[in-house]
C-alpha cells in the first residue's frame, strides 16, 4: 500500500517496520516529527519512546537499549549532534548490541537553525556508515537497512536526512509494523563496554580495520547507482542526486550519472565512472565530501580528468535546487542556461517576518526586563521562540542551547560593568542551561537569569519536557520544579512571576538587578497557543477615546494592536493578556465589556 508521507513520518515507519525497541530524541527542526509519528503509530506495542532532556542523553539512552539487545534509534537535528558528540565518537569504538541508528537531520540554508554544518563529516570523523536519502521513500528504506548494517559491522549508523527530505512528502510504500525484536538482556563484556585506555586502543584499530568491509558492503547498496553513457559525467549525492536526475532528463543529454546515498563511498563504482569519462561534475550540498574523494581517486585512475564542483558551479553554502543544478549541467554541456525566473516587482509588499504570537508572554517578560534593567544592560539570550524578539533589544546573543547563562558569566568575568540579564526558555534551560547555572553559582558570576517558562518546547511544536509532568506518550510523570532546581544549583535569589502581571514582573526584575549575587527570575505563563488550544479564553481588550496616539502600545509590538488614523486599535487577534493596558500611559485600553 502507498501513502503520501512526510519524510519524517516515513523514517518513523521505517524504524517501526524494522522492529525498533527504543526511540529517544530531543526536538529540533527538521527532526521533531520522527518521534511524534512513532508515538502516533506505536499503538499497544511495548516499544519505549521518549523525549529526552537533550541529544547526548537521547543517544546514551538509545545506546543502552542497543546494548540490552533492542534495536534503538536516537533522533536530533544537526546541531544536536554537537551536544551528543561525546558518546557519538566513542560508541563507534565500543560498538552496539542490537542495531543502533543515529538520525541526524541537517538544515542546509539554516531554514530553522543557527548554522548549516554537514553531518556527513561527523560520520566520517567517527568512522561509521552514513546513509544520505534523497526522498521520503529512500529515507524509510534506509532507516530499516541502517539496523542491518549496524548489526553486521557492530557500529552505530547515521541516517542523515536534510530539511528537504524530512519536510518533503511523497508517495511511499508502507509495510507491516513489527513489535520490538531482540532479547532485552545486557551482556557483561568489559572489553567492549568499558572505554578504558587499555580497551580503547585495540578498539580503535578494530574500527579502522572494519572500514574496508563497510565500504564493500555499501558498494552494493541500492542507493548507489551508476549509469554509464556519454563521456561527461555527473556524480551527485543525496537530494542533489534527485536534482541531477531531473536536470539531465530535462536537458535530455547523454550524461553518465552516479548517484550516491551511502558512506563510506563506493570506491570501485567511482573509479568505474572516472575511467569512463573525460570530465566530471560533482554535485552535493554543503561540504565537498564526495568531491575530495573523487579528486583522490582520480589521481590514481585518471589523472587528466577535468573535475568540476565547489567553487565552479556548485556553492558550498546554502541549499541546492533544480535551477542551480540544471544550469550547472547546462553550462558544462554548452547548452543555454535556463534564465532565472522573471521576478515581479514586490516592492509594494510589506515584509512579513515571523514574530512572537499575539499574547505571547515572552514579549511581556522582555518588556519588563528592559524596563527594569534599562537599555544599556547586556541581554544574552538563547534558542527558542524568544530569539525572534531580537527587535525588542533584549536579545544580544544567541549561540547554542543554554549558552545564554555561560556567555553572561563570561561577559561578567570579562569585566563588563553593566547589568547583565540573560534569558532562556524552560526546555532550553533543562536541555543545556542547568550546568551553566551551576557554574555561574560556583564561580560567583553576578548575573540575572530569566527562565521564560511557557511550560512546553514551543518553537518545535509543543513537545513536553521534565517541567511539564507529562511524557512523550502523554503519560503523567514527575514534574520537576524549576524553583527547586535553581535553588539547588546555587542561585541566591529565586523569584517566580506571571509576566501578564506587568508591574509585579518589573519589580521582581528590579530586585534581581540589585541583588549582589546570582539571581533567577522564573517568568511563568503557558504558551498562548497551547493555552488557547486547551480552551483558555481571556476577555479581549479595546481602545477607548482616551487614546492620545502616543504609540507606546504599538512599540510593544503585539500583532493585535494596530494604528489607524490618529489612534491605536485592537484587532481580532487579541487574546486578552492585558499587558498593553498596563503599559498605556493614558489608561485608554480596557477589557471589552461582557
Partner 1 sequence: MRTSECDLVIVGVGGQGVILISDVIGKAAVLAEKRVCGAETHGMAQRGGSVINHTRIGCSFSPLVGLGSADLLVALEPGEALRFAQYLSPEGVALVNTKPVLPATVTAGLARYPPVAEILSALRKHCRRVMDLDAIALAGKAGTAQAMNVVMLGALSSFIPLSQDDLLCSLAQVVPPRFLEANKRAFALGKAEVE
Binding site for partner 1 (CB under 8 A): 2-4, 29-30, 33, 111-112, 135, 164, 167-171, 239, 242-243, 245-246, 249-250, 252, 321-323, 326, 338-346, 348-357, 385, 388, 459-461, 551, 554-555, 557, 559-563, 571
CA-to-CA distance for 382 and 433, rounded, in angstroms? 10
The nearer residue to partner 1, 356 or 518, going by C-beta atoms, is: 356
Cα–Cα distance measured from residue 349 to residue 222, given in angstroms and rounded to the nearest whole number: 47
Whole-number Å distance between alpha carbons of 355 and 151: 46
What SS3 class is residue 199? helix
CB of 246 to partner 1, least distance (A): 4
What's the grid cell of residue 134?
534523497
Q: Which is nearer to partner 1, 288 or 557 (CB)?
A: 557
Is 230 in a helix, a strand, or coil? coil
- Determine contact, residues 222/134, Cβ cutoff 8 Å: no
The three cell numbers locating residue 469: 509532568
Q: Which is nearer to partner 1, 12 or 305 (CB)?
A: 12
Least distance CB 238 / partner 1 (angstroms): 12
The upper half-sphere exposure of residue 576, i.e. CA atoms within 13 Å in the direction of its Cβ, equals 10
Task: Specify whether the CB–CB gap between 276 and 233 falls below 8 A.
Answer: yes
Shortest distance, position 126 Cβ to partner 1, whole Å: 27
The least distance separating partner 1 from the CB of residue 74, rounded to whole angstroms, comes to 20
CB of 370 to partner 1, least distance (A): 17
Which residues, including other chains, have CB under 8 Å from residue 512's CB and lie 6 or more apart? 372, 421, 448, 493, 495, 519, 520, 521
Nearer to partner 1, 81 or 493 (CB): 81
**Closer to partner 1 by Cβ: residue 140 or 326:** 326
What is the DSSP-derived secondary structure letter of residue 386? G
Residue from 333, 194, 132 nearest 251 by CA: 333
- Least Å distance, CB 487 to partner 1, is 33
Q: How far is the CB of 540 from partner 1 (least distance, A)?
A: 15
| Residue entry with cell 493585535 | 560
Find the shortest distance in angstroms from Cβ 348 to partner 1: 4
Q: How far is the CB of 355 from partner 1 (least distance, A)?
A: 5
Q: In terms of CB distance, is 419 or 460 closer to partner 1?
A: 460
Supply φ then ψ for residue 368, to 5 degrees: -65, -40
What is the sign, positive or negative, of the torsion defined by CA atoms of 87, 88, 94, 95? positive
Q: Smallest distance from the beta carbon of 170 to partner 1, in angstroms? A: 4
DSSP letters for 225-263: EEE--SSEEEEEETHHHHHHHHHHHHHT---EEEEE-EE
Contacts of 414 (CB under 8 A, 6+ apart): none
CB of 322 to partner 1, least distance (A): 5
- Considering beta carbons, is residue 422 or 459 the nearer one to partner 1? 459
Instruction: Give the 3-state secondary structure of residue 157.
Output: strand
Instruction: Please name the helix (run of DSSP H) or strand (run of DSSP E) that holds residue 12, with its range, or none.
Output: helix 7-17
Could you give the CA distance from residue 530 to residue 536 in angstroms, rounded to a whole number? 9
Distance between alpha carbon 166 and the CA centroid of its chain, in Å? 11
**Residue closer to partner 1 (CB basis): 321 or 503:** 321
C-alpha cell at 279: 570530465
Closest CA to 564 of 540, 539, 543, 593: 543
Asked if residue 57 has a cis previous peptide bond (ω within 30° of 0), the answer is: no
Amino acid at each position: 500500500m502507498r501513502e503520501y508521507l512526510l519524510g519524517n513520518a516515513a523514517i518513523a515507519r521505517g524504524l517501526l517496520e524494522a522492529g525498533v525497541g527504543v526511540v529517544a530524541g530531543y526536538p529540533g527542526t527538521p527532526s521533531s516529527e520522527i518521534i511524534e509519528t512513532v508515538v502516533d503509530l506505536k499503538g499497544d506495542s511495548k516499544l519505549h519512546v521518549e523525549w529526552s532532556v537533550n541529544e547526548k542523553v537521547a543517544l546514551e539512552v538509545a545506546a543502552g537499549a542497543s546494548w540490552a539487545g533492542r534495536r534503538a534509534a536516537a533522533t536530533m537535528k544537526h546541531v544536536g549532534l554537537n551536544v551528543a558528540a561525546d558518546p557519538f565518537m566513542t560508541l563507534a569504538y565500543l560498538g552496539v548490541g542490537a542495531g543502533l541508528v543515529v538520525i541526524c537531520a541537517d538544515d542546509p540554508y539554516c531554514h530553522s537553525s543557527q548554522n548549516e554544518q554537514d553531518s556527513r563529516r561527523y560520520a566520517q570523523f567517527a568512522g561509521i556508515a552514513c546513509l544520505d536519502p534523497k526522498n521520503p521513500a529512500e529515507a524509510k528504506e534506509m532507516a530499516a537497512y541502517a539496523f542491518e548494517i549496524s548489526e553486521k559491522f557492530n557500529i552505530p549508523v547515521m541516517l542523515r536526512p536534510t530539511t528537504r527530505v524530512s519536510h518533503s512528502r511523497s508517495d511511499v510504500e508502507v509495510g507491516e509494523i513489527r513489535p520490538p525484536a531482540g532479547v532485552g538482556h545486557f551482556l557483561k563484556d568489559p572489553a567492549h563496554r568499558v572505554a578504558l585506555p587499555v580497551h580503547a586502543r585495540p578498539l580503535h584499530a578494530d574500527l579502522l580495520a572494519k572500514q574496508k568491509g563497510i565500504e564493500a558492503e555499501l558498494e552494493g547498496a541500492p542507493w548507489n547507482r551508476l549509469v554509464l553513457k556519454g563521456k561527461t559525467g555527473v556524480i551527485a549525492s543525496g537530494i542533489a542526486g534527485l536534482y541531477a536526475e531531473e536536470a539531465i532528463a530535462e536537458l535530455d543529454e547523454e550524461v553518465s550519472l552516479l548517484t550516491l546515498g551511502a558512506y563510506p563511498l563506493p570506491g570501485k563504482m567511482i573509479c568505474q565512472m572516472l575511467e569512463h569519462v573525460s570530465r566530471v561534475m560533482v554535485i552535493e550540498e554543503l561540504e565537498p565530501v564526495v568531491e575530495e574523494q573523487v579528486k583522490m581517486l582520480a589521481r590514481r585512475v585518471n589523472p587528466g580528468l577535468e573535475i568540476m564542483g565547489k567553487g565552479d558551479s556548485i556553492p558550498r553554502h546554502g541549499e541546492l535546487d533544480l535551477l542551480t543544478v540544471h544550469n550547472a549541467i547546462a553550462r558544462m554541456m554548452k547548452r543555454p542556461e535556463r534564465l532565472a525566473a522573471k521576478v515581479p516587482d514586490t516592492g509594494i509588499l510589506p515584509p512579513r517576518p515571523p514574530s512572537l504570537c499575539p499574547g505571547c508572554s515572552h514579549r511581556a517578560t522582555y518588556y519588563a526586563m528592559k524596563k527594569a534593567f534599562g537599555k544599556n544592560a547586556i541581554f544574552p539570550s538563547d534558542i527558542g521562540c524568544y530569539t525572534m524578539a531580537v527587535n525588542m533589544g533584549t536579545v544580544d546573543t544567541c549561540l547554542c542551547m543554554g549558552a545564554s547563562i555561560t556567555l553572561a558569566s563570561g561577559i561578567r568575568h570579562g569585566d563588563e560593568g553593566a547589568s547583565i540579564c540573560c534569558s532562556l526558555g524552560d526546555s532550553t534551560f533543562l536541555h543545556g542551561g542547568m550546568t551553566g547555572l551551576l557554574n555561574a553559582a560556583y564561580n560567583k558570576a553576578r548575573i540575572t537569569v530569566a527562565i521564560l517558562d511557557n511550560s512546553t518546547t514551543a518553537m518545535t511544536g509543543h513537545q513536553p519536557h521534565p517541567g511539564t509532568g507529562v511524557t512523550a506518550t502523554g503519560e503523567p510523570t514527575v514534574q520537576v520544579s524549576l524553583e527547586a532546581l535553581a535553588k539547588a544549583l546555587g542561585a541566591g535569589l529565586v523569584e517566580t512571576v506571571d509576566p501578564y502581571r506587568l508591574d509585579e514582573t518589573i519589580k521582581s526584575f528590579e530586585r534581581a538587578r540589585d541583588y549582589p549575587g546570582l539571581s533567577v527570575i522564573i517568568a511563568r505563563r503557558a504558551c498562548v497557543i497551547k493555552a488557547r488550544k486547551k480552551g483558555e479564553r481571556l476577555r479581549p481588550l479595546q481602545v477607548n477615546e482616551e487614546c492620545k496616539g502616543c504609540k507606546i502600545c504599538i512599540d510593544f509590538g503585539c500583532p493585535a494592536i494596530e494604528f489607524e488614523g490618529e489612534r491605536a486599535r485592537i484587532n481580532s487577534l487579541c487574546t486578552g493578556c492585558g499587558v498593553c493596558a498596563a503599559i498605556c500611559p493614558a489608561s485608554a485600553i480596557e477589557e471589552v465589556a461582557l
